[in-house]
A and B are shown apart, each in its own frame.
Chain A
Amino acid sequence: MNPIQTIDYIRILPELVLTAFGIVVMMADPLLKPGASRKGLGLISLAGAISAIAATFCQIAWSARDAQFAQPGWFGMVRVDSFAIFFHLLIPAISAVCILLSLEYLDAQNIRSGEYYALILFGTVGMVLMSSAVELVLIFIALEISSISTYILAGYRRRNAGSAESAIKYFLLGSFATAFFLYGVALMFGQTGSTSILTIGKALATTDPGLLAIAATALMMIGLGFKVAAAPFHVWTPDVYEGAPAPIVALMSTGPKAAAFAVLLRVLFATQSAQWFTLVWICAALSMTLGNFGALMQNNVKRMLAYSSIAHAGYLLVAFAASNEIGISAAIFYTAAYAAMNVGAFAVVSHFAAGGERYISVDDYSGLGRRSPLLAFTLTIFMLSLIGIPATAGFLAKYYVFSAALSASAHPTALVWLTVIGLVNSAVASFYYLRLIVVMYMREPLVAEAPAPASIGTRLALVLAALATIYLGVVPDRALNLSVAGARDLTPSTAAVGTVSATAPSSAPVATTPVK
């Protein structure tokens, strides 16, 4: 009998679909004339990303029919539970929006190579696989796929020295961080004799985890902390984001980050939380503070958003520090909310700066409200969401994170302090987000003419991101239920299952009443 069943192929269906489309894009590329636009390939890869979402719905249908589906498959390599399915929906959606943005951007930048789209698709394979892998060896390979494709994409503006700097910096520091991750895996193998997260979790739960396991977790946290741009492993972020093409920044500030947070959740919650609480606490506090105060000093919008992404990684880590089921579900929800608003913000930056990435300083945005009211309006939505104004995704995400931190039973005082730091930081953050809005609406424009009209692809991307931001902020129930189910999959042993599902969704209507 063949040990690999149909169900195993369904477990990696999104990855299979994405790989197939990636290969089609690669093979179609030589058929086009060397100097011609690659828009057609972009549309094929867009179809690929959408098919991957459809494949995930196929997985959902299968899991409803077959209880066996959520069990580990491929000899204990992947586990497609609700947690993985959440990211299987989120990550291809991010890629689809970034491909939509690239359609206009590549033509404006005069980039004529189809590998760009293939790399996005293959990178998405890695990110999607990271969220469902439960074996550290497979996680490592998936992490490398997602990282290496982003290193290459960061250097795609070949005529620009900043882009090359960005790619080299990202590559060197990224490889360095990966080495830490691998060393952590090796030590964990030494301690538990296994590289499977499920076995490691069981082994550490039954025996007293020694110093070695703590060191292993810390080393893995360094590696993943780099990928999510959490302080003190954040130094690369502003330079890399500044030089990389704007649609790619939209992708790499959300997609690989969401996938790396998924891995971090799986790894950290397999090991016991008491060991890493202090580490996560320090990382969270540092990321929020350094990120927000760094953003205050920036005049370049891309750099400002880079620092803001460091700060948001910090807010997310607050949910980790809560180290209970509510915290996990808050963290999962936060990745989706952050993806919606950040992709949107970079979509505006990408469109506005297209054709040479000229207009990227805050002053360039002055008077945008008069020059292009719609563009200014959408950017305002994303900025308000990044601040955390009610009725946006950012507000609910922050609300769940901080309420999770306050409701945690372990380390209550430390978490109250962390929440205070987080709230002070949110206030600081609103300053630089609001500054951009003020500049757009209150200041005279430097140049009179309106920016170039957005193409259909860019418009669609902007509308999708704005809708997602508002949707997650007004009717978050479905996303929230899915994240609560995902959190339950990660912590099967905790007793507090019933209370979470009762409190988390019911708090949503309270927050949304002013809107309706």
Chain B
Amino acid sequence: MVHQVLFIVFGLICVAGAINLLLQRHPINSALSLVVVMASLALIYLLLGAEFVAAIQVIVYAGAIMVLFVFVIMLLNAGEEERTRGSRVALILGVPGVIILAATVGWLLVTGSGQLGSVTIASSDFGETHAIARLLFKDFLLPFEITSVLILIAIMGAVVLGKRES
């Protein structure tokens, strides 16, 4: 019961933060709303029993990545976003689109909830570092290793596109 109440509270905060992120016109306000989203997501992970993921979420996303975001916004001295004709068209088309999509998915989840099985946590160490490490370095070893190529490409892309043209 407490779990459900907490889930609803943090879920609502998360969605409100995400909507606020979109509505804010100054990038720094959007970045700070993103902190709210990340932190409430971390709490939802915690409610689901994934302690390790929750901690990582706070350290990496709400911590490191957000600091980077804020630094970049400050350094670039980014101004307020402008409303153009294009963005107005996007708003007119986008908002109903999002509502339709959200309604469809919501309806599907509500009607299809009978088909969703319940998950029983088999091992006592579920969500702990040990269990995650076993998944990461055994079953998901290949995806884990191949991610290094992905990160390498991302770094290379930043270097290539950011380099000053000689």
Contact = CB atoms under 8 A, between A and B. Distances in A.
Interface of A: 3-4, 12, 15, 19, 26, 34-35, 74-78, 112-113, 115-116, 118-119, 122-123, 125-126, 129, 135, 137-138, 141-142, 144-145, 148-149, 151-152, 155-156, 158-159, 167, 183, 187, 190-191, 193, 210-212, 215
A142 B160 contact: no
Contacts of B153: 119, 122-123, 145, 148-149, 152
Contact of B156 (A129, A144, A152, A159): A152
Interface in B96-143: 104-105, 108-109, 111-112, 115-117, 119, 138-143
Contacts of B104: 215
Contact of A141 (B108, B115, B150, B163): B150
Contact of A145 (B109, B117, B138, B150): B150
Given A122-B149, A152-B157, A159-B165, A77 B115 contact: no
Nearest to A8: B142
A204 B139 CA distance: 23
Nearest to B164: A158
A158 to B, nearest CB: 5
A78 B142 contact: yes
Contacts of A3: 138
Contacts of A159: 165
Of listed A26, A138, A141, A210, residue having the most chain B CB within 10 A: A141
B150 A148 contact: yes
A148 B154 contact: yes
B interface, how many residues as a size bin?
A: 20 to 34
Interface of B: 104-105, 108-109, 111-112, 115-117, 119, 138-143, 146-147, 149-150, 152-154, 156-157, 159-161, 163, 165-166
Contacts of A191: 112, 115-116
Given A148-B157, A151-B157, 16 more contacts: A35-B166, A74-B142, A75-B138, A75-B141, A77-B142, A125-B149, A135-B143, A137-B140, A138-B142, A141-B146, A158-B165, A191-B116, A210-B112, A211-B108, A211-B112, A212-B109
22 contacts: A3-B138, A26-B156, A34-B166, A75-B139, A77-B142, A113-B160, A113-B163, A115-B160, A118-B156, A119-B156, A122-B152, A123-B153, A125-B146, A141-B143, A149-B157, A152-B156, A156-B160, A211-B115, A212-B108, A212-B109, A215-B104, A215-B105
B50 to A, nearest CB: 15
Nearest to A191: B115
A115 B142 contact: no
A120 B8 CA distance: 46
Contacts of A115: 156, 159-160
Contact of A126 (B116, B149, B166): B149
A126 B108 CA distance: 33
Of listed B142, B152, B154, B156, residue having the most chain A CB within 10 A: B142
Contacts of A137: 140, 143
B147 A141 contact: yes
Of listed B141, B149, B154, B166, residue having the most chain A CB within 10 A: B149
A167 B111 CA distance: 40
A226 B30 CA distance: 28
Contacts of A125: 146, 149
Contacts of B147: 141
Contacts of A145: 146, 149-150, 153
Nearest to B108: A215
5 tightest Cβ-Cβ pairs between the two chains A and B? A152-B157, A212-B112, A210-B115, A74-B142, A138-B143
A135 B147 CA distance: 14
Contacts of A156: 160
B115 A152 contact: no
B37 to A, nearest CB: 15
A156 B159 CA distance: 12
A12 to B, nearest CB: 7
B161 A155 contact: yes
Nearest to B152: A122
A78 B154 CA distance: 24
Contacts of A4: 141
A512 B62 CA distance: 63
Nearest to B148: A19
B149 A152 contact: no
B119 to A, nearest CB: 8
A317 to B, nearest CB: 23
Given A122-B152, A145-B149, A149-B153, A212 B143 contact: no
A77 B143 contact: yes
